[in-house]
Amino acid sequence: MIEEGRALFLQIAEGVEDSIIDGSLAEEAQAPSTNELAAFFRINPATAAKGVNMLVEKGVLYKRRGIGMFVAPGARELLLAERRTAFADRFVEPLLVEARKLGLGPDDLSRLILERASTHATAPARSERQRAEVSGTNTEGASR
Amino acid sequence: MTLAIEVKNLTKRYRDVVAVDDVSFTIEKDTIYGLLGRNGAGKTTVMSILTAQNFATAGQVSVFGEKPYENARVLSRMCFVRESQKYPDDAKPSHAFRSARLFFPHWDEPFAQRLIADFQLPVDRRIKKLSRGQLSAVGVIIGLASRAEITFFDEPYLGLDAVARQIFYDRLLEDYSEHPRTVILSSHLIDEVSNLIERVLVIDRGRILMDETTDAVRDRASTIVGDSAAVEKFIGDREVIHRESLGRVTAVTVLGTLAAEDRARLGALGLEIAPVSLQQLIVRLTQHANGDAAHTTAPIEEVTR
């Protein structure tokens, strides 16, 4: 689950972010501790701490003295906004490059996307958002 | 950062062989280091001088600000697990653990017992009769349970199977999380330890080749693969540490982090990026540093692949 060639602390931070985005780690829930992350990913605790600190600086996590790290209110919206901005670069761009290589134009692509999407049992984006707003009651912390 | 160890201009000569060549580095307290390098690079020599089991020809070594030589105050704070530790002829692991308990002030007996069970070590068999892996387990158990402020593991895994090595890595991390201390781990299995070590020290031919945080090294090099002409166009004046070709396809390993615009350009040129693991990077850098060696080893690599 850890890949080569990218800074480990970034991957750890992204892992925690993913849990917040998919809702398994709710806002105001306790985040996994540095040592839990280190043990789970089998990495040096100092590296895990660097990832956690990055999330604190970003305002995704905050520290309660003597207790641990918690997910900040608004963290999910913050992360969603950030990921949506990065989406075009991370996913659309490589898609276009590969499509061009295969002689597929933008029209072919959008047709393919619509076709595929219709075969998925699509969870409407609306309910995703509502779920973010009722968060804060979920207290299952280190669910991973 | 507090320093645990300071090495200044250390040189060790054995007759006409220079094993350690004017080396300087520091070891921060409560950090796990990887001490990496080829056989004969000078790793064991450095560790044995730091633990006063060997003399320096020139230079200074200080541990917790003191000279380690014949200094019981400093020596009892260090544990050196040697690759080929010698034990008395009729010694059993239980004897070795008993001596360790007397010598190391922070020895944790319940932890030692747990490790003995983990490694399924027969403690009442004579050490001479143990397998290579069981012998390594004796050293690993002493190294972990001694909980010394500085612990050196010199290739502690010889003969240990994959399961036993994973037990070692897991226990090391767990115990380090609860009892932070300085660990210097010498290993050839670089990819196995790359996630455990916070800093990496690479020694080559008695000199320090790399002294950095492991995370800083992770995206330090990339391999670019694709049409030879396009690859050449992209690399420009980047430093190339390895290059191989197959027909019209070239793979080059270049130093330097790739920025977003580099990646965009690579995409536009139809080139692919492959990550370079810590092990690959160190192998390439070592070959590169040795210049001509890179050419002589390349064909062998192709054969073994």
Tens of pLDDT along A10-29? 999 999 999 999 999 999 99
How would residue A111 be classed by pLDDT, with cut points 50, 70 and 90? very high
Mean pLDDT score across all residues of chain B: 90
Question: By mean pLDDT, which of A10-19, B41-50, B205-214, B283-292 is the weakest?
Answer: B283-292
Least CB–CB distance from A7: residue in B198, B219, B277: B219
State the number of CA atoms in the 13 A half-sphere of A73 facing the CB.
4
pTM: 0.81
Residues B129, B141, single domain; the answer is yes
pLDDT in tens, A30-89: 999 999 999 889 999 999 999 999 999 999 999 999 899 999 999 999 999 999 989 988
* A42/chain B closest Cα distance in angstroms: 7
Residues B190, B257, single domain; the answer is no
B270 CB neighbours in chain A (<8 A) are 97, 101
Distance (Å, rounded) from C-alpha B268 to C-alpha B262? 10
Residues B238, B155, single domain; the answer is no
Q: Which of A3, A4, A96 to mutate to test the interface with B (most CBs of B within 10 A)?
A: A4
Size of interface A-B (CB pairs under 8 A): 69
Q: Can you read off the two tokens belonging to residue B145?
A: 């349970």
A51 CB neighbours in chain B (<8 A) are none
Determine whether B83 is exposed, middle or buried from the number of CB atoms within 10 Å of its CB (0-12, 13-18, 19+): middle
Mean pLDDT across B144-160: 95
Hey, what's the torsion of the CAs at A107, A108, A113, A118, to 10 degrees? 100
State the number of CA atoms in the 13 A half-sphere of A88 facing the CB.
2
Is residue B216 pLDDT above 90, yes or no?
no
Residues B26, B89, single domain; the answer is yes
Residue partners of A140: CB distance under 8 A and separation at least 6:
A26, A29
Q: Can you read off the two tokens belonging to residue A62?
A: 């905050």
Mean pLDDT across B234-242: 90
Number of structural domains in chain B? 2
Residues B91, B193, single domain; the answer is yes
Residues B113, B183, single domain; the answer is yes
Distance (Å, rounded) from C-alpha B226 to C-alpha B248? 8
Residues B65, B128, single domain; the answer is yes
* A127/chain B closest Cα distance in angstroms: 34
- Identify the closest residue of chain B to A11 by CA–CA distance: B215
Distance (Å, rounded) from C-alpha B37 to C-alpha B44? 10
- Which helix or strand (DSSP H or E) is residue A56 part of? helix A45-57
In the three-class reduction of DSSP (H, G, I as helix; E, B as strand; rest coil), residue B151 is classed as strand
**For chain A, how long is the longest CA-to-CA vector?**
59
Mean pLDDT across B281-297: 71
- Identify the closest residue of chain B to A51 by CA–CA distance: B215
Strands (E), chain A: 61-64, 68-71
Residues B56, B148, single domain; the answer is yes
Hey, what amino acid is at B250? T
Write down which residue in B216, B248, B268 finishes a domain: B216
pLDDT in tens, B57-100: 999 999 999 999 999 889 999 999 998 888 888 899 999 999 99
Mean pLDDT across B127-147: 95
Residues B250, B133, single domain; the answer is no
Q: Tell me, what's the pLDDT at A118?
A: 87
Q: Considering only CB atoms, which residues of chain B are within 8 Å of chain A?
A: 31-32, 169-170, 173-174, 176-178, 195-198, 214-216, 218-219, 222, 260, 264, 267-268, 270, 274-277
- Domain span at residue B78? 3-216
Strands (E), chain B: 3-14, 17-28, 32-36, 58-63, 78-81, 150-154, 182-186, 199-204, 207-213, 221-227, 240-246, 249-255, 272-275
Residue partners of B278: CB distance under 8 A and separation at least 6:
B190, B191, B194, B200, B214, B217, B218
Closest CA to B187 of B163, B157, B143: B157
Q: Which residue(s) pair with A61 in the sheet?
A: A71
Is residue B125 pLDDT above 60, yes or no?
yes
- Identify the closest residue of chain A to B269 by CA–CA distance: A97
Mean pLDDT across B257-285: 87
DSSP B273-286: EEE--HHHHHHHHH
CB contact under 8 A, A50 and B215: yes
Write down which residue in B216, B244, B279 finishes a domain: B216
Least CB–CB distance from B276: residue in A5, A43, A50: A5
pLDDT in tens, B5-21: 999 999 999 988 999 99
Residues B263, B171, single domain; the answer is no
Residues B291, B212, single domain; the answer is no
CB contact under 8 A, A42 and B198: no
**For chain B, how long is the longest CA-to-CA vector?**
69
CATH number at residue B275: 3.30.70
Residue pair B252/B235 in contact (Cβ under 8 Å)? The answer is yes
For each of the domains in chain A, give its residue range(s) and CATH number, in order of start: 8-75 (1.10.10.10)
Least CB–CB distance from B198: residue in A2, A44, A93: A44
- Identify the closest residue of chain B to A95 by CA–CA distance: B267
Write down which residue in B169, B189, B216 finishes a domain: B216
Residues B233, B204, single domain; the answer is no
CATH number at residue B44: 3.40.50.300
Residue pair B253/B222 in contact (Cβ under 8 Å)? The answer is yes
